[in-house]
Amino acid sequence: MSGKVRIPALVVAVLALLVLPLGAVATGADGKPEVKLSKSQAGTGGSITVTGSGWRPHALLMMLICGQSSPDRGVIGGTNSCANADGRAVTTDEKGAFSKKLPVVEPPQPCPCVVHVATVTGQKADADAAFLVAGHEVEPLPKEDTSGRLSVLTDTRLDGSSGVLTWFGASPSRDFVFTVGNVGSLPVKDPVFQVGTSHGVFAPQWEEQQWRGTIAPGKKAQIELPVELSAGAHGDYTVSVKYGGKVLAEQPWGVGRPWGVTLFWILLFVVVPAAVFRIGMAVVDRVRPQGRSRPAGRWGSRPRSGGGHAGPRRSLRLPEVTVRMPKLSFSSTASSPHADADSDNRTNPTLPWFTPDSAPGTEAGQLSAPQENSPSTPTRKGNS
């Protein structure tokens, strides 16, 4: 009997050893993201290995060393308490795990410090691990106000839409809407929230906004806070709300590119050169001479199309052609009286210093100088 009892007990023990690790792994995967450090403290200039599990697969994470923080209260001063310039980005694997080295630097706020790991895009998730920077000053954390505490009860959203002016570069604006509940013992009157917008991995710029109203203990209220970006802003932004030094909610905001500005510059570079070209052509048409004729050919200018009148060069050259033709076809002996007159006019040119009647050779009908043996040549009689 004793042997029959021991065998089932041994089998149960073995099965228990196999089931317990599986249950622990399942609990870790279904729980919140976890962060573990290779060292609990280290000096500046060194490095630690940060290991995480339970994160979303293929998620982009940011690792930072933050001061004035604790794992139970989180990063009190927000990312302004962290060494943002020396952070590291890491991407989880298919199982939601990662492992990467992080350099040790002094944060802008005194310790107690933590290694803060948070998602950059997608669903918000974060985790903290206690860490001590050796040689860095340590101060107690500020006292937590337990008189009135607000907690976000519902998912956040951004109400509103972009208008036509936003398409041309105006400032995008939305209303950040969320519901909070008072989990403290005293009412919260006119709470002051801090609203910040961040672009990418940069730290948000906080701006205080006061909500008018009173939230009694155990009651809830819907909060609407206006959010506005700078002119021409586009890309992926994150809107955060902080109360009492703790971040209450965050909401991603994808802002489209203002294509109207791009269209304006394209039209400017197309229309302005075209207008300048048209103005230049109009000026050229104004200053260009109107009576300029085409270069003449051999027989005068080319006649215009459409049966127009011939140019002035053609009307002047035609009589010259008719005058030269009789000279080629008739001899001087059989020429007509008109031809003899024309030949006399050509052979007896008029010099500028003589009149037509006193030109040399007009009396004798010759242009050459008088001969010595000519009877008309005067002779000198000398003294014998």
Residue pLDDT, tens place only, 206-222:
888 889 888 988 889 99
Nearest to 126 by CA among 181, 177, 79: 79
- The mean pLDDT value of the chain amounts to 74
Question: Higher pLDDT residue, 165 or 67?
Answer: 67
Alpha helices in the chain (DSSP H): 2-30, 164-167, 259-287, 312-329, 337-347
Name the token pair of 151.
């907690």
Dihedral pair phi/psi, residue 337, rounded to 5°: -60, -40
Average pLDDT for residues 121-131, to the nearest whole number? 87
Nearest to 131 by CA among 157, 105, 97, 160: 105
Q: Are 228 and 270 in contact (CB under 8 A)?
A: no
Cα–Cα distance for residue pair 159/251, rounded to 1 Å: 12
- Report the run of H or E that residue 128 belongs to, with start and end: strand 126-134
pLDDT band at 253 (very low <50, low <70, confident <90, very high): confident
Q: How far apart are the first and last CA of the chain?
A: 201
pTM of the model: 0.44
Cα 93 to the center of its chain, rounded Å: 34
